[in-house]
Amino acid sequence: MEPQDPQEFAISWWFAGGTAVATASMLAYVAHDDFGLTRREISTPSLIAAAVIGLLVVTEYFGKRLRKPK
């Protein structure tokens, strides 16, 4: 894997973060308005899901960086 330009790396992370926020907002809107869930019923599972996804992303990122080349 080739080293990536730091500016491209930062832009891709900001874009991914913005996309994640927009997706979460749309899903919360649908769950609240269409399915009739309360905000409390939406927030707890979404925080757990965000923590799990964040853990997977961090594990993948640092796993690639710390993996020894063969």
Instruction: Characterise 36 by phi-psi region: left (phi > 0), alpha (psi -120 to 50), beta (else).
Output: left
In this prediction, residue 68 has a pLDDT band, given cuts at 50, 70 and 90, of low
The beta-carbon contacts of 28-34 under 8 Å, at least 24 apart in sequence, are none
Q: What is the pLDDT of residue 56?
A: 86
Using a pLDDT cut of 90, give the percent of the chain over it: 9
pLDDT band at 34 (very low <50, low <70, confident <90, very high): very high
Which two structure tokens, joined as six digits, stand for 5?
């330009």
Whether the full predicted model's pTM is greater than 0.75, yes or no, is: no
Q: How confident is the model at residue 2 (pLDDT cuts 50, 70, 90)?
A: low
The alpha carbon of residue 13 and the mean position of all alpha carbons in its chain are separated, in whole angstroms, by 10
Q: Which token pair is 69? A: 């080349």
Distance of CA 40 to the CA centre of its chain: 21
